[in-house]
Structure 1
Amino acid sequence: MSHSTSQPPRQPPDEPTGEVVADESTSSATTVLARLRDWAMPLGLAGAVVLGLLLVYTVGGRDSGLITQSIVTGLLLGGVYALVSIGLTLIFGVLGVVNFAQGSMLTLSMFLVYVMVTSMGIPVYVATLIAIPIMFAFGATIQTLFLNKLTTSGNHEGPLLITLGVSLLIINGLLMIFGGRPKSVPGGVSGSITVFGAIASYERLIAFGGAAVVALVLTLALKKTSFGLSIRAVSANSQAASLVGVNVNRVYAMTFGIGAACVAVAGGLTVPFLSLTPTVGEQFTILAFVIVVLGGLGNVVGAMVGGLVIGLVQTVGALYLPGTGSLILVFGVFVLVLFFRPQGLFGATS
């Protein structure tokens, strides 16, 4: 006698419904639209810059050779601005500290290179490499000894006053040691090249290349390394980063040190073609803050692009508004960008 075991009827496998596909399509479309919105303002500004340059060439009423020279000079000047701003944007974006000492630290790095070149006979670009770790240690020490406690406690006024005090201390110390008479540093490379009829010196080209290299290295470090992940975590939420094991005070000190090291690069690469005085770095401070906010707080690429835009606006604008008049155009661009995109060109949308 055979026994048959009854089995429950097989259920057909679940098939994906149209709702799931629709949700995935909606999510993808939302992501694409968000990316388009993020790039709309940067691309719009780039288009406005190109259109403005075309108008200057066609109906500007200036010699085309002079315009080309202004554009090349503006791009190279923008690289210098970007070098100063890259370190500032890290400090501003991660620590939330408005570092009023950024310009004076730039001056300090220039005088370090000056001493090594004139007193020790070290080539200017080798002296720059030596100045980088010195300024890194200086920045990390300032953050560790004076700013860490205030930064972690959420005090916003204290760091402002401390960085302002550090700036005054550096400037007056340099005045006491070196005096106020302008000094110069012999460059390591002489000569120039012609770009579309415009003259570009090798020293300024090297400074521009240095800015590009620093921006690339820092961008890769922030995105590809564990320390870069720690910096981004602290920038987003320092308390949450501390809860998952990130040493917030160490990240703060390292970030301030990196910001100081960036101005060491800027100081060493620009000192061959700048007149050196104890207040030379202060002329970059205001524009550096403009560039940082324009590009987006904490965004290295934004600082680089912002520096180039400001450099172009300043030099081309000087054809029509000489002297300090070109700064009117600089701040006009700044206000327009903040009006339409308060987070900056490359800042994250809320």
Structure 2
Amino acid sequence: MSTQTVAPAATASVVGPPERARASGGPSPRTLLVTLLVLVVASVVAGLVSGSTTVLTQALVTGLLTGGVYSLVAMGLTLVYGVLHIINFANGAMVALAMYITFAVVDATGMHPYATLLITVPAMFLLGAAMQTTLLNPIMKAPIQTQLLVTIGLALAIENGLLLVFGPNPRSVRLPGGAGVSILGATVDTSRIFAFAGALVLVAVLWIVLQRTPVGTAIRSVAANPEGARLVGIDIRSIYVLTFALGAAAAGAAGTLVAPFTTIEPTAGSVFNLTAFVVVVLGGMGNVPGALVGGLIVGLTEQLGGLILPGQSPLLAVFAVFLVVLFAKPRGIFGRAS
């Protein structure tokens, strides 16, 4: 596959075509500052409501750790949308599938849960490539309704397959010797710390691949101008397969990282799917750095919302922020018109 480039002007830090008015660059300093100020104000309010700095610290630390994992889940979704222009409703089901692969391997071999990344990531990469080749490539030019139905069908097929093989009973995976540790006075499960660190490393690796390698340049070129990329010799179909496979691998990594502190059941991916869509819209559709920051915002909002609105679902605050952003900035916090 040739990796000559079209030198797209708007892909220095974004995967997504500028002609569709999605994010045309990374988060601007002004936007980051405003976002930070909003989070600081929310933290102060949450601290006043809770009346305890320890409770506030616990919420902030837990929110950041959870947000890092949300970013990884959303990364595959925004990557696929930015390049293929397909909204992958099977993303959450892929996370659930990876959780079950982790459970099955640990149960059968006694392997450390996070060591199963060596199995789940390649397995999900190959599965994603197979899905794109057999199911999605034929409908790349089909109406969006057809594409949505296919990805929803994929999600249902994965969920029901998991139900058939593993049954409806919840499963769990535990880290050996996993005890809580203290961070700034907050007690945090070690599994969440490992998941956060792993998510940041994997997001960084994906970022480097997209920005610093010939293959990543080809992916960004296809995202910006598919026809132009084709004219300079880039195999568009191969890039589509590779992109969807990378998205599936990211979902697989996320599934393994969250398995030790999440109940494993066939429908577990639905919650991650919903959260990932909120993250992607907040950060800007097709905006990779926006997905990272959006995930952290959602994680913090969940935890701070629980303090400001005690007794309510944490998702209430998340969707309140989501609706406000959607009305104020339909392209997302970090989305800018080209």
Match of 2:274 among 279, 282, 286: 286
Q: Give 1:49-88 correspondences, 5 Å limit.
A: 49-57=39-47, 59-88=48-77
- d(CA) in 2 for partners of 1:310 and 1:252? 29
Shift of 1:37: 9.1
> Counterpart in 1 of 2:136?
147
Between stretches 109-118 and 339-348, larger displacement belongs to 339-348
Match of 2:87 among 68, 78, 98: 98
Change (3 A) 1:126 1:60: same
> Counterpart in 1 of 2:116?
127
> Counterpart in 2 of 1:227?
215
1:250 and 2:276 are equivalent in the alignment: no
Q: Report the count of equivalent residues.
A: 315
- d(CA) in 1 for partners of 2:236 and 2:336? 22
Shift of 1:42: 2.6
- d(CA) in 2 for partners of 1:105 and 1:118? 20
TM-score, with normalisation over the residues of structure 2?
Answer: 0.88
Q: Which amino acid is the alignment partner of residue 226 of structure 1?
A: P
Match of 2:38 among 23, 48, 65: 48
Shift of 1:188: 4.1
CA contact (8 A) 1:215 1:301 kept: no
Shift of 1:142: 0.4
- d(CA) in 1 for partners of 2:301 and 2:164? 37
Structure 2 alignment gaps of length 5 or more: 1-23
> Counterpart in 1 of 2:203?
215
> Counterpart in 1 of 2:3?
none
Greater Rg over alpha carbons, structure: 1
Change (3 A) 1:323 1:117: farther
- d(CA) in 1 for partners of 2:168 and 2:311? 23
Shift of 1:322: 4.2
Change (3 A) 1:247 1:155: farther
Deviations 1:192-230 (A, max 9, x none): 221121011211001001111112111121111111111
- d(CA) in 2 for partners of 1:301 and 1:70? 24
1:265 and 2:265 are equivalent in the alignment: no
Change (3 A) 1:186 1:140: same
Deviations 1:133-187 (A, max 9, x none): 1100000110111111221x25322221111111111111111111111111132
Q: Give 1:119-198 correspondences, 5 Å limit.
A: 119-151=108-140, 153=141, 155-188=143-176, 190-198=178-186
> Counterpart in 1 of 2:262?
274
Q: Which amino acid is the alignment partner of residue 202 of structure 2?
A: V
Change (3 A) 1:189 1:56: same
Change (3 A) 1:342 1:42: farther
Shift of 1:36: 11
Deviations 1:290-336 (A, max 9, x none): 10111122222211111111111111111233465432321222233
How large is the RMSD of aligned CA atoms in angstroms? Answer: 2.0
Q: Which amino acid is the alignment partner of residue 198 of structure 2?
A: G
Name the SS of the counterpart of 2:263 in structure 1.
coil
Change (3 A) 1:188 1:91: farther
Q: Which amino acid is the alignment partner of residue 345 of structure 1?
A: I
The percentage of counterpart residues that share the same residue type is 42
Shift of 1:349: 3.0
Task: Give the ranges of 4+ consecutive aligned residues of structure 1 lying more than 6 Å apart after TM superposition.
Answer: 34-37
